[in-house]
Every structure is written in C-alpha cells, then in structure tokens.
Chains A and B, each alone.
Chain A
Amino acid sequence: QVQLVESGGGVVQPGRSLRLSCAASGFTFSSYGMHWVRQAPGKGLEWVAVIWYDGSNKYYADSVKGRFTISRDNSKNTLYLQMNSLRAEDTAVYYCARDEEMATIDISGFDYWGQGTLVTVSS
C-alpha cells in the first residue's frame, strides 16, 4: 500500500534553516510528481511546492519562493523540502502528497498524503 512518511520537523528560530524529508513506499516513486502542502494552526491548506516525477521542473508558491527548495532522490524514494530564512508565518504542519496523475507535467490533485510533520518557528 502507498505510504508517505514525513520527518524533520521541530522548533527552529526565525532566520534559521530546516530540511524536511518524505519517505515513499508502495508505489513507483519515480513515476509521480510530488508536492508539499502546509497548514498553519487552525487555518486552511496551502500548496507550497511541486516537483515533476523526473525532477526536471520545480514550482513554488509566492510565499516561499526564493527561500524553500524542493528536491527528490528517486534512488532513495525520498522527497525533500529545504527551508531557509524561516519566518514565524512558516509555522505549520507540512504534508507531502502524491500527484494523482502518473508522469504528468501539470498539477493535478493529491491522492495520497503523509501524516504531516510540525514545524514551529519561534525564538
């Protein structure tokens, strides 16, 4: 069965960095685009970033562009999110999610989600 397991969250001071990981199993990881989606406490869902199945393209929400970097290692079935220059408003649960279309070069929906990892940015 498809499993996505995030890790790497924690408490970090403003301006510092953190790297999240998402370990995938139960499907051919290299055939699917992958996303990060976040949810601030008590708020709605916010799309953060996407990486194409082959890593050829990456796109970001305006709120994180220039600070966050999405990447993947298809040999390790793992998705990453490098978060730099963190701000208080980046505090959220971060989910990785699989694009529901195989080998797409567009953004579809998200058919599988991890359980999320909490990032708290606070001094």
Chain B
Amino acid sequence: SYELTQPPSVSVSPGQTARITCSGDALPKQYAYWYQQKPGQAPVLVIYKDSERPSGIPERFSGSSSGTTVTLTISGVQAEDEADYYCQSADSSGTWPLGVFGGGTKLTVL
C-alpha cells in the first residue's frame, strides 16, 4: 500500500525556521496537504495543494514540492506552533482512490 513518510520529530528554537518533510512516490502526480493538530483538538488545514495557504493561516507557514518530497516550512517559529503535523495525499494508483496520511511529525519548540 502507498505510504507517506515523515520524520517522527523536529525541534527548533523560537524564531528559527522549522522544516518538515513528507516523502511519497506519487507526490509528483498528486497534491499534498498539511494539517496541524494540537492536543485534544481536531486537525487544522494549514497548507493545501502543495503550497497554498488557507485564509486565516499565518504567513509564516509555507509549503513546497520537489520530486517525491513535499516540505512544510514554518518561518520564525513561535511557541504556539508546537503541535503534531501531518501530510496527506491521495493514492489513485489502484482501482479506486484512497486517502493516505503520513505518520505525523511532532514539532517541539525549545
């Protein structure tokens, strides 16, 4: 089955730049989406279609794509950005489409 691979954890100091990667063979052909999830809360979409930012999401959140890897970049990290981050895409290689999530990355703000 199709998998998206993320690092389990990323740590940065406040004000630094955090980069979270997500790798998958189909990412050159399918858009990726990124979600932020804080403890006890539902996920929130922070990046859609690889690099688009929904309204209300701070400009410090950005997304990029290169080959089989997409990257979520948080510039000028703030304490409130500490959360779990998940990438998501679609697997359309089979008979029917399936949704797929990466395993998640815990962002720690030191």
By a beta-carbon cutoff of 8 Å, the part of chain B in contact with chain A is 1, 31, 33, 35, 37, 42-45, 48-49, 54, 84, 86, 88, 90, 92, 96-104
Contact = CB atoms under 8 A, between A and B. Distances in A.
Contact of B99 (A35, A57, A95): A35
A58 to B, nearest CB: 9
Given A107-B90, A109-B48, A111-B45, A59 B104 contact: no
B35 A106 contact: no
B103 A44 contact: yes
Given A45-B43, A46-B101, A107-B92, 17 more contacts: A37-B101, A44-B86, A45-B101, A45-B104, A47-B99, A50-B97, A57-B96, A59-B96, A95-B43, A100-B33, A106-B90, A107-B97, A107-B99, A108-B31, A108-B48, A109-B31, A109-B45
B76 to A, nearest CB: 25
Contacts of A110: 33, 35, 43, 45, 88
Residue of B48, B49, B96, B99 most packed against chain A (CB within 10 A)? B99
Contacts of A109: 31, 33, 45, 48-49, 88
A31 interface: no
Interface stretch (A7-15, A18-26, A69-77, A112-120): A112-120
Given A45-B35, A45-B43, A113-B43, A107 B86 contact: no
Contacts, number: 69
Contacts of A62: 1
A45 B98 contact: no
A59 B45 contact: no
Contact of A106 (B86, B97, B102): B97
A61 B98 contact: yes
A100 B44 CA distance: 12
Given A109-B48, A109-B88, A47 B98 contact: yes
Contact of B48 (A35, A107, A111, A113): A111
B14 to A, nearest CB: 26
B98 A59 contact: yes
